[in-house]
Every structure is written in C-alpha cells, then in structure tokens.
Structure 1
Amino acid sequence: MMKLDSVAAFVAIVEAGSISAAAKRLGLAKSVASERLADLERGLGTRLIQRSTRKLSLTEDGQTFLPRAQRILSEAAEATAELAERRGTVVGPLRLSAPVSFGILHLGPALTTFLRENRGIDLTLELDDRFVDAAADGFDAVLRHGPVGDNRLVAKRLATSRRILVASPEYLAAHGTPGSLAEIESHCGILYANRSADWRFGSPGNWTVIRPRAALRVNNGVVMRDTAVAGLGISLLPTFFVHDQLADGALARIDIGVEAEGAELFIAYPRERSASAKVLALIESLRRSFGDPPYWDRASDQSPSRNTRPPFEA
C-alpha cells in the first residue's frame, strides 16, 4: 500500500535535487528519506529515480508519476486544511522564504504574533536574498520586495513601501546636500548590487534614471544602511530599513522634490496549489502586524528631511 510520507519523500527529493537536501527540508535523517523512497519504489514495482554518485535523475516512470504524486500531496494538504477550517483551526506545516534583512528586522516579530494565534502551525522560515523559485523549491509562499514577474505565482500585497534618499549628517556636511536629480550624480552612491538602473525617479511612464558613482555595491539592505550611517555616501533605501535611523538622527532624508520609484511588499504562492487556509491566515496576520500605512512609513513621515521642497506630484 502506498504511504503518503513515502510520496512526500519522493517529491521532496525531486524538488530539492538530492536526498540530503530533501531530508533537511522534511526534518528527517538522510537514511529515513532514502528508505521512504525505496519503500515507495518497492510498492510501485518500479524505479522512480536513477541514483549515481554525481546526481539524481528521474526515470521514465518517475517522470510519469511525479505530477500525480504532486497532486496527491496537494489534495491531501487541501483536505486537511479544509477539515481544519471547518473546526475553526489552522494546522500543519508551512514553509516560507523571505529576504534576509527584512526577515530579521520585521518578519520575525510579525511571525511571532502569527504563531501565537495559530499554535497548530509548524513553520519553517528560510531567509535568502536570492529570488527563490517558490514553484520549484517547494515553498508554500515567498515574500518579495518589489514586483513579482513570475506568472506561475499569485501575488498578494502585504504592505506599501517607499524608497527614500538618505545620508549621514556628517557626509552631507562634508559634501553638501543635493537639491536636484542632476546634483545626485556627482555624489558617492551606496548601491544595491542585484538591480541595474535601480535609482529611478518620477512617475510610471516618465522615469528618470540616475547613476551616481558607486562607493559600494552590495546585495544586502542592512549593509547599505550601515555604510550610509558611517558616512560613505548617499543611499536609496526602503523606509523599513531606515525609519529608526531617521528618528535618532543617524541618517537624514534628502528631499530633491521628486519621489523615487516605490517597491511594495508582496507575498506570493504557486498558482497551481491555490491559497491554503494557512497561507490566507498568514497574509491576514502579517497585514495586521505591518499596518496600513505600515509602521515604518508612519515613523519616517515624522522625521525631518534636509530639504523643505514640496513632494513631487505625478
């Protein structure tokens, strides 16, 4: 008789690319994951995965069985969630991916509230600044700061986010405060390494791209913020990274009369799986925790800028 945990092990091994990675994802010993795969193959009377010392590959039977195995797991999860909903509870495993810095600064505290509200959730959170493939990597949902261009995913907005120009008072005292887009280009910039043409100002369809001289390129917002606090240049950062530093004066907001392109915070889940009760409960809990407008924008609105020009109107 085919066991559900053996099917889960097979799917995890295929999605993770190795037995070791699948075992880690499932919270099992490698030997247990391997035995569950072997048990499934014995029950089906065929080999599903061809093993070698260098890689794993699906056999022809494995390729045929994989989409059915994924549907079996999806339907079992949906049935469990539906029964849980009928009992007024949300239970079971939930695997989530989020950017490192946002996860540490804001997501961790918000998830504490979510888990207190839903004691039956077994949450796995993986922090990673790369754009993980939610559909292929086995995540129930991923958090993204910015547009979600993958049509395999359904994206739901969690919170708005503005990006603002900031620098330390010491840097501005030494190099002057820019008052226009053109003046920005003569300053040292602390840039996000994973985006080209990242400094965009104006309005949709009428963007102006600025490219300051790079003092640093890095793929982590907290490092960018701390480098700006140290006085090495100007940075364009989401308010959720800098609201505390604006409040205590470690950073000053630079107003050049034009708004930077924003980047909203989204949660996305694979379209083929639809939204489970767990993901829907998570979305609502995070929205409540962040607020509308989110608390990081409310805090930054109360911080003085280095310029009194009126905000840009599209």
Structure 2
Amino acid sequence: MIKLEGVASFAAVVEAGSISEAARRLNLSKSVVSERLAELEKAMGANLLRRTTRRLTLTEDGAAFLERATRILDEVEAATTDVAERRGSLAGPLRISAPVTFGRMHLGPALYPFLARHPELELTLDLDDRRVDAATDSYDAVVRHGPLESSRLVAWQLAPSRRLLVASPGYLAQMGNPATLADLQWHRGIFYANRGAADWRLQGPDGTGIARAAVALRVNNGDMMRDAAEAGVGIALLPTFIVGDAIRRGALAVIDIGLQAEPESIYIAHPEGQRVSARLRAFAECVRAAIGSPPYWDEWAASVVFCS
C-alpha cells in the first residue's frame, strides 16, 4: 500500500535536493525519511531516485511519478484547507522570517488575534534584519521590505511602502530647512548600515539625484534611526511604517525638496516551486487585511505639513 507520508517525503527530498535537508524541513530524522522512501519504492516496485555519493537524481519512473504525486499532494492540501475553513481553524507549523522593526510594530498586532482564532497553529516568527535564504534556512516564507532580491522567490505584495526624509523640528530650526538636493550636503545624516553608501537616492520629473551628507550615525535598525532623528541627531530617510506615528505626533517633520525616494513594497515571499499551504495563505491574508489599503500607518498623509 502506498502511504501519503511516503509520497510527501519523496516530494520533499526532490525539492530539497537531499534526504538530510528534507528531513530538516520536515522536522524528522534522516532515518525516518529514508525508511519512508524505501517503503514507497517497494510499494511502487520501481526505483524513484538514483543515489550517488554526491547527489540524488530522479529516475525516469521517478520523474513521471513526481508530476502526479505533486498534484495529489496539492489536492490533499486543498481538501485540508477546505475542511479547516469549514471548521474555522488552521493547524500545524508555520515558520516565518521578518524584519525586527516591522515585525514588532505591525506583524505582532495583526497576528495576535489571528493566533487566538487558530489555537492549533504553531507559528515561529523569527525577527531578523539580515537577508535570510528562505529555502536554505527552512522558512515557509519571509516578510521583507524593499526590492525582491532573489529570482528563486515568489512574492506577494502585502502593502506599498513610501520612504520620506524626516528630521526633528528642533534640528531643522537649528540647521535650517533644506529646499534643494544640494542643500542636503550641509546636513548630518542617519543611515541604514546594511545599505552601504552614505547617500540618499531621490527621484523627480528630471530623473534621479543623489544627495550626500555628513554621517552622524550608521545603524542597522529602523527603530534606532527614528529615535535618533527624533533626538535631533540628523536627517533620516525612513519608511512611513516606521515614522508615520512620529510625524502625526509632531516629533518628526517631513522634508520636501521636490524629490521622492523610489517606491518600495512590503512583501511576503516563498521559495519557487514550494507548495503553498493553507496556513501560509491565511497568514498573508491576515496581514494584508490588517494593514489595509492604503496602509493604516499612512492615514496622517492627507493632512501632513511638509517642512520646506
């Protein structure tokens, strides 16, 4: 008899490229995955994988079986999703990586009621600003801000993201309000350390301009950049999901020089070829609905006073 767990293990091994990596992703021992593969091949009466000391490759029978096996697993996942939706609950593990600031400020408040509605869901939310590899690090998906950097990922947009030049009213009163791109060179800048160069790339009708400023602070955390700007350290270019509340409170003023940072996205991405679980779809829909359109952190935008 062919067991579904054996089919799932076979598909996982093909996707991962090795038994050990598949075992890690399935949270099983290597021996258990190997036993399931052996049982499947015995039940099929055919070798599905060609094993060498360095790699696993599909046999002709394995390639033919994989196509149908993937459809079977997708159908089972869809059926499971249907039952879960009928019961109003989701179950099982889900591992997500997200940036520290966005996770703390926006993912948490969105997900706490979601988790309360689905008590059998086992969510691991790993907050880290480094660019992790979703497949290698065994994440179901990554939430990221900015451009999509890997062609091996399939991304869904959660929300558009605007970035603005901001500084405290006290800093601008002391140092003056920049009115042009050239004016920024006389100011102190707060820069995101992982982005490399200490400059700001801004766009307008006539193209892209680059403004450089004296470095006051480099740090790899958006919260600290915002706090430093509020404290009067200098000017920062930050997304509105970080500074929206500070602008609304008047702790930060928006600097308008007629140019804007290139629009970015907040997106969730999963490895290409990976089956998308009901848990992941529900997670993404929950976050997208909580953010709203336009994003709730931009609600101040209609009445914001630009400092120019």
User: Same fold, TM exceeding 0.5?
Assistant: yes
Q: Corresponding residue for 2:176? A: 176
- Unpaired runs of 5+ residues, structure 1, are 45-57, 308-314
8 Å contact 1:187–1:233 — kept in the other structure? Answer: yes
Alpha-carbon separation, structure 1, partners of 2:53 and 2:205: 48
8 Å contact 1:167–1:228 — kept in the other structure? Answer: yes
Report how far residue 279 of structure 1 moved. 2.1
The count of aligned residue pairs is 289
Overall identity of the aligned pairs, in %: 44
8 Å contact 1:93–1:122 — kept in the other structure? Answer: yes
Alignment of 1:185-196 (within 5 A): 185-196=185-196
Write 1 or 2 for the structure with the bigger share of strand: 2
Deviations 1:264-293, CA, capped at 9 Å, x for gaps:
111111121143322222222111100100
Alpha-carbon separation, structure 2, partners of 1:260 and 1:4: 49
Alpha-carbon separation, structure 2, partners of 1:137 and 1:72: 28
Q: Corresponding residue for 1:306? A: 307
Distance 1:146 1:171, change over 3 A: same
Distance 1:77 1:296, change over 3 A: farther
Q: Corresponding residue for 2:111? A: 111
What is the DSSP-based 3-state SS (H/G/I as helix, E as strand, rest coil) of the residue aligned with 2:282? helix
Q: In the alignment, residue 282 of structure 2 is paired with which amino acid? A: A
Q: Corresponding residue for 1:214? A: 215
Alpha-carbon separation, structure 2, partners of 1:282 and 1:204: 38
Q: Corresponding residue for 1:269? A: 270
Alignment of 1:1-314 (within 5 A): 4=5, 33=29, 36=32, 60=53, 63-64=56-57, 78-89=74-85, 90-196=90-196, 199-203=200-204, 206-307=207-308
Aligned residues: CA RMSD: 3.8
What is the DSSP-based 3-state SS (H/G/I as helix, E as strand, rest coil) of the residue aligned with 1:272? coil
Q: In the alignment, residue 283 of structure 2 is paired with which amino acid? A: L
8 Å contact 2:193–2:220 — kept in the other structure? Answer: yes
What is the DSSP-based 3-state SS (H/G/I as helix, E as strand, rest coil) of the residue aligned with 1:136? coil
8 Å contact 2:9–2:37 — kept in the other structure? Answer: no
Q: In the alignment, residue 172 of structure 1 is paired with which amino acid? A: L
8 Å contact 1:81–1:91 — kept in the other structure? Answer: no
> Could you state the TM-score of these two structures normalised by the residue count of structure 2?
0.77
Alpha-carbon separation, structure 1, partners of 2:237 and 2:72: 45
8 Å contact 2:74–2:275 — kept in the other structure? Answer: no
Alpha-carbon separation, structure 2, partners of 1:280 and 1:37: 27
Deviations 1:168-194, CA, capped at 9 Å, x for gaps:
122112111111111011100000112
Alpha-carbon separation, structure 2, partners of 1:192 and 1:73: 46
Alpha-carbon separation, structure 1, partners of 2:286 and 2:174: 45
Stretch deviating more after TM superposition (134-143 or 99-108)? 134-143
Distance 1:215 1:153, change over 3 A: same
Q: Corresponding residue for 1:55? A: none
Q: Corresponding residue for 1:312? A: none
Q: In the alignment, residue 214 of structure 2 is paired with which amino acid? A: R
